[in-house]
Structure 1
């Protein structure tokens, strides 16, 4: 993938030596990618050129929004069909592989029951091929990318003076369509490459698949386990633990998804493009050298400037993702260590995979310029483990009740200070909310007509466990 933020560079031609032989059978050659055909792809014949212009006409007439998602889907599937750099091609999932995934997730949920108070969040378990992963996750990619692409497109349109914008209405429509095609090609290739690396639906710390559906990619699970010296069943089970833990969190913390996606949207709202710099650079382009545009794009010609709003949104997103991944890391290790001999080795493998630029880091760096810092993930995992020791799993998991209860970036710097900080008692707030729901009637007034016992007298028969929110069935303090 590119090292510059998503949407600001043209796609690169595949380096696979075999791809040139198969472009007519699903490879992404000039006929499949008119953008690459128009920007310097060599060796075209007249038929390729004609097909490229025909597809370009279709692209320019497609006004589906800031990203051409039909093109993104096609490019992603073509990228998957080309295979990974090691020569691995996508294939269908067998019935035996599907059953193994189901058994792994079922056992993972059983082990997780003993280390977290959050119940199972998976209502279904599936085994996906790489192409199926692309199809299942594209709706969420659309939700993530559209705000960023729309804001960049709006900023780019400001390059033209006001009077020229009024005169160039049709041209602006063509520019929007071309921008949507460029975005679609870029995100399509990014998702297609990612499909060859991911092992489930939550690898990047976000719920990319349908709600409640735990998913693993057997082909990628097997590839990850190669060379580790660990039985494939053990690798599959450890990854199933991670997938099932993510599902519990996103299912039973209803505000978490919107919190994470809202941070991305907050970043998009803060995007600004230096139009003066852009006008000057565009004016320097040589029309006789179309490849110069590609060079400028790769040098960050359209890269937006960081604003205080963007930095704040990225900081929120980075901290929230670190807390999600840290919680999963701590919970999965607690569940796996008593049962899997290679639990610690697998844990470190996945941590190093993230640190060396795994799918999460690459995707976010391409998407919005965010790089997840492994140091933050380790800090978050240590904090959650310390909370477990100090408050138990129920007290630890209760922090997910509201975003304001979660540790902050400063708390990750001082986990002991957060762990031993005096805990807030929300039992009175729960009681007031209950009264409001009952129309103002105190929730503890259960006395029958003629009963003169005060409503707050908890010493009567049947009150051994105390009022709601306390005792055996209430919220942990």
Structure 2
């Protein structure tokens, strides 16, 4: 056999044709030359995905498979919303709006709240999920490329030259498909637009998912009209807050993406899997991605980012808790429903846990009770108007120290209400010290000697 007839050269030439976009690859020929005992149907499927990856661009991840997969799961039961259910929630929202206006100084929404289907929830929230998942998806794509390069023999390096775009497209498509599955599962669990805790709905819209309402109230032994009114009030409070504090949505999303950008994929886990991977049984790879095993232990920067995010989410949810409770004082089952919501948010559902594994982030306000206690103390001390004014600007919003010790925040607000200058706290002292140091520093261009300005 001449050098030109060697199988390795034939395989390299086939890979060059594939990676250059020429196509014309016969799966049976590829199987023969590679010496792999693969199922022909599986090979056809592999080739189809490779051809789809070839048609991709460098403009980012193609999220179409995420949308398709999520909608497929969301529409499995084929049920919509009955006219009776829409009327029931319209009435609940109307009464909730009236009661909520008595409990908060933050005004009503511009658009009326509405009941939506699971598929409508997917369509509305998918852009936010994509934004949150993009950094992790990019990390996985880059890791796949790194694993390919580390596992490729030197004599085959020329054959995979220029394959970076294709490998990244394949990795992105794999992650997008998994993300679609997770979002589809979440669509079966969430009962409202603000249920997950982050601002998923556009323009501060308030929504309820009647298809999931029955599952939420199962075994609670609470009348459906009371449950619907409580959930409608909570959803309106959440939506009103984000519409009033227009900076808050970007603030939350930025903190989530800051965390996600710090995620790095464990390349060694991919390389270890590659050594024993059976292409005819991809369950192990799928499980590796879904379990979060590709995401190594959090760095110190990520832990700090997560702590900031948890405090922010707790501050938001705590305000919603207090305002909702004040609005529902006339509802007999209000306390029981509120406790159910808190426990549900603390535990999370299967879909939320899957999202945590996929992106490495648990969107749960771990300090919810402490934050709610802070808002209750503020409300009792200065009233709803002064409390809600803390959302007017980012610098006014309570921080982690205020959750730890609400007394200092209450004292400052009470002093302000009396027209007094509040006693300086540690932050004020540090700021004053910094400003004093800046004032004592010579301006740019000044020349000073050891004992003062140098005479001209």
* TM-score of the aligned structures, taking structure 2 as reference length: 0.73
Aligned match of 2:214: 222
Report the alpha carbon displacement of residue 156 of structure 1 after superposing the two structures with TM. Answer: 5.3
Matches within 5 A, 1:345-356: 345-356=336-347
Aligned pair partner of 2:70 in 60, 66, 76: 76
Please tell me whether residue 314 in structure 1 is matched to residue 306 in structure 2.
Answer: yes
State the Cα deviation string for residues 186-245 of structure 1 (Å, max 9, x = none). Answer: 110111001111111111112212214221111211221222111111111111111111
Aligned match of 2:4: none
Aligned match of 2:118: 130
Aligned pair partner of 1:235 in 204, 217, 227: 227
Report the alpha carbon displacement of residue 296 of structure 1 after superposing the two structures with TM. Answer: 5.1
Stretches of structure 1 lacking an aligned partner (at least 5 in a row):
1-43, 83-88, 429-477
Matches within 5 A, 1:365-444: 365-372=356-363, 375-421=366-412
Aligned match of 1:269: 261
Aligned pair partner of 1:110 in 79, 98, 118: 98
Q: Distance in 1 between matches of 2:58 and 2:109?
A: 34
- Contact kept, 8 Å, 2:117 with 2:209, in 1: the verdict is yes
Aligned pair partner of 1:100 in 84, 88, 93: 88
Aligned match of 1:179: 171
Aligned pair partner of 1:61 in 55, 60, 79: 55
* TM-score of the aligned structures, taking structure 1 as reference length: 0.70
- Contact kept, 8 Å, 1:130 with 1:196, in 2: the verdict is yes
Aligned match of 1:463: none
Aligned pair partner of 1:342 in 323, 326, 333: 333
Q: Distance in 2 between matches of 1:153 and 1:305?
A: 19
What is the total number of aligned residue pairs between the two structures? 376
Report the alpha carbon displacement of residue 168 of structure 1 after superposing the two structures with TM. Answer: 3.6
Q: Distance in 2 between matches of 1:157 and 1:267?
A: 23
Greater share of residues in helix: 2
Report the alpha carbon displacement of residue 421 of structure 1 after superposing the two structures with TM. Answer: 4.0
Rg comparison, structure with higher value: 2
Q: Distance in 1 between matches of 2:277 and 2:202?
A: 47
Aligned match of 1:143: 131
RMSD value over aligned CA atoms?
3.3
- Contact kept, 8 Å, 2:370 with 2:403, in 1: the verdict is yes
Stretches of structure 2 lacking an aligned partner (at least 5 in a row):
1-37, 421-456
Q: SS where residue 93 of structure 2 aligns?
A: helix
State the Cα deviation string for residues 59-86 of structure 1 (Å, max 9, x = none). Answer: 553347554311001111222234xxxx
State the Cα deviation string for residues 83-137 of structure 1 (Å, max 9, x = none). Answer: xxxxxx2411122322222222121111111111110125132211111211121
Q: Distance in 1 between matches of 2:357 and 2:326?
A: 33
Indicate how the Cα distance of structure 1 residues 412 and 195 shifts in structure 2: closer, same or farther if over 3 A, else same. same
